[in-house]
Amino acid sequence: MAYELDDDLTTCLGAAAAFALRRGHGVVRVEHLLIQITRSSRAALVWLARRRISSASFVDVLDARLGDEAPPSGYRGAGAGVTSALDPGLDDLFDRASRAWLFRRRVEARHVLHAFFESSEGASVARAAAHDVSSVVAFAHAAQAVASSRGHPRVLVDHAVFALLDHKRFAQAVQACGVDPDRARRDLSDRLASLRRAQRLAGLDDLVTLACLRANARPGGTPSERDVVVDMLRSRRARYALDAAQLDPYDLLYAYVHGVAPAEDDAAAGATAQRVEVAFENDDHTTMDHVVAVLESAFDMDDDAATATMLAVHARGRATVGAYPRDEALRRVERARAASRAELMPLRIVTRPAD
């Protein structure tokens, strides 16, 4: 049948041809194309996350399948303007992608992925590249258990927060914010009894998909309960439950990610230090754009300097922003903290007496 590739898929196919040429392969195979789709298509990452597949593991499996084998005989590049010939398997994949989506004439990357994973070969690859989502599922089931024990038909954020109070890391974060976990549990229990204003928690499939998507955005990332909890604490849905437990969302988020409350980091400079060194620490939840924006607004860096500092934080895990007279340092940290609080970004800013 007749079909055509959409612009994004055509671009991926060109990149696959260049990739095959770099590897010394005279034929563009299905694996070459799928690797390029995974590396360049945001829609592909979402598609893989919904099916609980690790994008990094998927690429590794495909790359291993390519190996260093010589290309099949009978195929060779058609000149300087064409990098490689296409393996017949690609035509078959495009045809199956078109037929699987009601004979769509324009085949997209997601159609290709769908067609590949519908095959027995794709199912085998999916099993090899599957994410371990056990911690996310366990978290969701704990919230469901709290809801069921109270006869509630829907799982709410309140049930999830209540369940988290039995988790050591979360309970320690609550305590770091100056709130007794047992008191928070009692306050939340009273709220659950009344259910005056409650926001529904995302369904289990949504939680798992979001955790997989977060993991796919990080090199070697694995879906974790921590990702789900961080996203939940950032959401408006958590506001009423945290208010009931007298917990500040930003302070709790910061303490959950870093193990200490912001006030503890701010106190580290010491009351007698004349000059204070300010440093940023990396985490998996603060965006690079936010770090750059804070460096520019609170520390008067230009875009180049802010970007270089952000990359240093990202690469080394920690980088010094500067050393300032004590009062100036604390003012800058306060401005940076206010910006992070407004965006619910757990950027860790640490201070210490300068040498």
Q: DSSP of 116-142, one letter per residue? A: HHHSHHHHHHHHHTB---HHHHHHHHH
Tell me which residue has tokens 């997601």: 110
pLDDT of residue 24: 86
Dist CA 288 CA 186 (whole Å): 38
For the stretch 101-140, pLDDT in tens is 555 568 888 889 999 999 999 999 999 999 999 999 999 8
Residue with tokens 């324009």: 106
Residue type, 232: M
For the cut 70, the answer to whether the pLDDT of residue 43 exceeds it is yes
Q: How many CB atoms lie within 10 A of CB 160?
A: 25
pLDDT in tens, 65-94: 987 555 444 444 433 334 458 888 898 898
Range in 30-34, 149-153, 201-205, 264-268 the model is least confident about: 201-205
Determine what percent of the chain is predicted with pLDDT higher than 70: 90
Instruction: Answer whether residue 290 shows pLDDT above 50.
Output: yes
Q: What's 134-258's CATH class?
A: mainly alpha
Main-chain phi, psi angles of 198, to 5 degrees: -140, 140
Residue labelled with tokens 């503890």: 264
How many helices and strands (H and E) does the chain possess?
Answer: 19, 7
Q: What six digits make up the tokens of 330?
A: 């604390």
Q: Is the pLDDT of residue 159 over 70?
A: yes
According to the model, what pLDDT value does residue 6 have?
85
- What residue has token string 């992070």? 340
DSSP state, residue 287? -
Residue 36: per-residue pLDDT: 95
Whether pTM exceeds 0.85: no
- Is residue 212 classed as helix, strand or coil in its secondary structure? helix
Give the best-scoring range by mean pLDDT among 18-27, 96-105, 340-349: 340-349
Specify the 3-state DSSP secondary structure of 275.
Answer: strand
- Lowest-confidence range among 173-182, 213-222, 223-232, 276-285? 213-222
Q: Mean pLDDT, the chain, as a whole number?
A: 87
Calculate the alpha carbon distances from 300 to 102, 303, 336 in Å.
56, 10, 11
Q: 180 or 87: which carries more pLDDT confidence?
A: 180
* Confidence check: pLDDT of 282 > 70: yes
Other beta carbons within 10 angstroms of residue 95's beta carbon come to: 15
Q: What residues contact residue 161 under an 8 Å CB cut-off, 6+ apart?
A: 188, 238, 241, 242, 245
Domain parsing of the chain, residue ranges: 4-128, 134-258, 262-353
| Alpha-carbon span 198 to 159, nearest angstrom | 10
Question: b/e map of 24-60 (b: 16 or more CB within 10 Å)?
Answer: ebbbbbbbbbbbbbbeebeebbebbbeebbbbbbbbe
- The CATH number of 262-353, from 3.20.20.140, 3.30.1390.10, 2.40.50.100, 3.40.50.720, is 3.30.1390.10
What type of residue sits at position 157? V
Question: What is the band of 98 on the pLDDT scale with cuts at 50, 70, 90?
Answer: confident
The confidence score (pLDDT) of residue 80 equals 35
pLDDT category at 154 given cuts 50, 70, 90 is confident
- Quick check: do 134-258 and 262-353 share a fold? no
- Assigned CATH class of 4-128: mainly alpha
Tell me the C-alpha distance between 169 and 257, whole Å. 9
Structure tokens at 283: 């985490």
**pLDDT, position 64:** 92
CB 278 within 8 A of CB 351: yes
pLDDT tens-place string over residues 302-316: 999 999 999 999 999
Place of tokens 């709790």: 252
What pLDDT, on a 0 to 100 scale, did the predictor assign at position 25?
87
Q: Give the bridge partners for 351, in sequence order.
A: 278
Residue 74 is predicted with a pLDDT of: 44
Q: What is the pLDDT of residue 162?
A: 94
